[in-house]
Amino acid sequence: MNTQRVLVTGAAGFIGFHLTQRLIAAGYEVAGLDNLNDYYEVTLKEARLAILKQLAGFSFHKINLEDKPAIDSLFNSGKFDYVVNLAAQAGVRYSIQNPYAYLDSNLTGFLNVLEACRNNPVKHLVYASSSSVYGANRKMPFSVHDNVDHPLALYAVSKKTNELMAHAYSNLYNIPATGLRFFTVYGPYGRPDMALFIFTKAILEGRAIDVFNNGKMQRDFTYVDDIVEGIVRLIPHVAKKNPSWNGEHPDPATSFAPYKIYNIGNNNPVELLRFIEVLEEKLGKKAVKNFLPLQDGDVPATFANIDDLMQDVGFKPATTIETGIGNFVNWYKNYYKIK
């Protein structure tokens, strides 16, 4: 049997870690790339990586996406069938304070991946975008077929730019490319800069939590296993040209080139206060809440239209926040040895 090889960039990251485990279980060989940067606690990335290194069929490469010679060398020797690009500088808040970090990783790094795919053709490039690209859009649920031209922070700009770069390479070099707009991903081994992690830590330590937009924020919280299932189904579902694409009425989600955009979200927005309520139930402890206005760069609500995902690969995320938050709390207490 000819085992298919997948390169997962950001393999020691939150989604990359879960995806790699799932791909190995499905019989793929996985080459994981990560630079283990210190944007958040490196020990958590190392803990994820230690689990992955025990899996047969996994190899690890500590490389910066911006290091073009190293990326080229990896692609030349790797002979990858598929590439899933998850490595990126994450975080809306951080992009306001450290804008230049986003140019290096999210633009230069992604360009290196595209160039490597051009010179070492792959069956399919799948890459992470973000629900943040919807920016000032207010038509709900957010549809991949609507324009997204009013971003609210540089992080969103970098993700929208990735989509545009992928389209250019799909057009010029016939690289099948699929962009995935993730909606507020959470779950075990999650990122410490995300609300669920921050809230859990603060509540257990008896500290107040900052509740922005006075808790009226709505998010399409999506459990990590659902995100991973969507990715795994889409990897072999290679992006194709849309024969009915029309430049007079351009569809942003498809193209005359082999290019596609999907939302992967729970399709069920939850108010932040309800999210906190469930967390309190699972922790068995009340939160001290510090109510604040909406932050710069944040959107008041997100809600994913996932019709295309359901139609093309027959999948709809369905994990409830009660189940998902419960799983996270169990992991957190176990990982940090909290009784």
Task: Copy the structure tokens of residue 294.
Answer: 């909406």
Give φ, ψ of 44 to 5 degrees.
Answer: -70, -40
Of residues 131, 314, 152, the one with CA closest to residue 229: 314
CB 49 within 8 A of CB 12: yes
CB 231 within 8 A of CB 19: yes
- Which of 40, 82, 94, 155 is catalytic? The answer is 155
Which secondary structure element, helix H or strand E, spans residue 204, and what is its range? helix 195-205
Q: Is 155 a catalytic residue?
A: yes
Asked if omega into 269 is within 30° of 0 (cis), the reply is no
How far apart are the C-alpha atoms of 40 and 285, rounded to whole Å?
26
Query: 7: burial class by Cβ within 10 Å (0-12, 13-18, 19+)?
Result: buried
Q: What is the DSSP letter of 104?
A: I
SS3 (DSSP) at 225: helix
Q: What angle do CA 225, 259, 6 make, to 5 degrees?
A: 50
Task: Copy the structure tokens of residue 271.
Answer: 């108010």
Q: Write down how long the chain is.
A: 339
Q: 270-271 and 218-219 as β-strands: parallel, antiparallel, unpaired?
A: antiparallel
Structure-token match 């700009």, residue found? 157
How far apart are the C-alpha atoms of 5 and 63, rounded to whole Å?
18
Task: Copy the structure tokens of residue 233.
Answer: 């189904």
Catalytic residue positions, numbered: 155
